Amino acid sequence: MHKTDYAIGALIGFFAGIFAIPTVLNLGLRDALTLLALPWAGAVMGFAGLWIVYALARKIPVLAQFGRFFVVGALNTIIDFGVLNLLSRATGIAAGFILGGVNVPGFLVAVMNSYLWNKLWVFKEGSRELFAAFPKFFAVTLTGLLVNSGIVIFFTTYLAPSTALAPNLALNIGKALATGVSLLVNFLGYKFFVFQRNETTKVSVENQRP
């Protein structure tokens, strides 16, 4: 655990606040002061959240890695939501099968962000080639994308119409459900498939210590 991690957590939170603005706007919030405060609130939450997790990790070490993954996952999620809401607002598409295509760009931007943060910071994969693990990463993420888009389409097209939810609200509820499921799929895939060699190496080194 390094002090620089707290600064990274705050930086990630700041960017998360920026990318949250399109979603907040699409949900109807127009207050300028609130919008300007989002990045700074995100920075505080990123710093504080990581500090709390690292404090708990003194007794349960694995929480440190999970905490970093969660912070990065939060940024990925907000990027994904932000781009989706931006495109939905620009195109007027908030439901139907075509929404699956609108959902893809934000997911792909989040994928690249996720790969770099997970490789360099969360799992600290040690290979010199920056994109050596990317094919495996992309395969796992593509699975997550299919799960993610499928849930968004199913919820907005088949479940939401039977409720009184507004289209924009239904879109974001469906996206939240999809994100939770795909987040679990991605974490398991990254830890046990994409960055498995690095994890095994760390365990081996730790077992050899006196």
Q: Determine how many CB atoms are found less than 10 A away from the CB of residue 209.
A: 5
- Asked, for residue 209, whether it belongs to a domain, the answer is no
Chain mean pLDDT for the chain: 85
Which two tokens mark 160?
């939401």
* Nearest of 136, 145, 24 to residue 76 by alpha carbon: 145
For residue 206, being part of any structural domain is answered with no
194 within domain boundaries: yes
Does 139 map to a domain? Answer: yes
3-state SS, residue 61 = coil
Q: How many domains does the chain have?
A: 1
What range does the domain containing 99 cover?
Answer: 3-199
Please check whether residue 205 lies inside any domain of the structure. Answer: no
pLDDT at 20: 95
* pLDDT at residue 19 in the model: 94
What number is the average pLDDT over the span 153-168? 86
The answer to the question of residue 56 being in a domain is: yes
Residue 126: band (very low, low, confident or very high) from pLDDT cuts 50, 70, 90: low
Q: Does residue 210 lie in a domain region?
A: no
47-96 per-position pLDDT tens digit: 999 999 999 998 888 788 888 988 998 999 899 899 999 998 888 888 88
**CA neighbor of 99 nearest in space, from 155, 20, 31:** 155
Tell me what percent of the chain is helix, strand and coil, each rounded to the nearest 5: 85, 0, 15
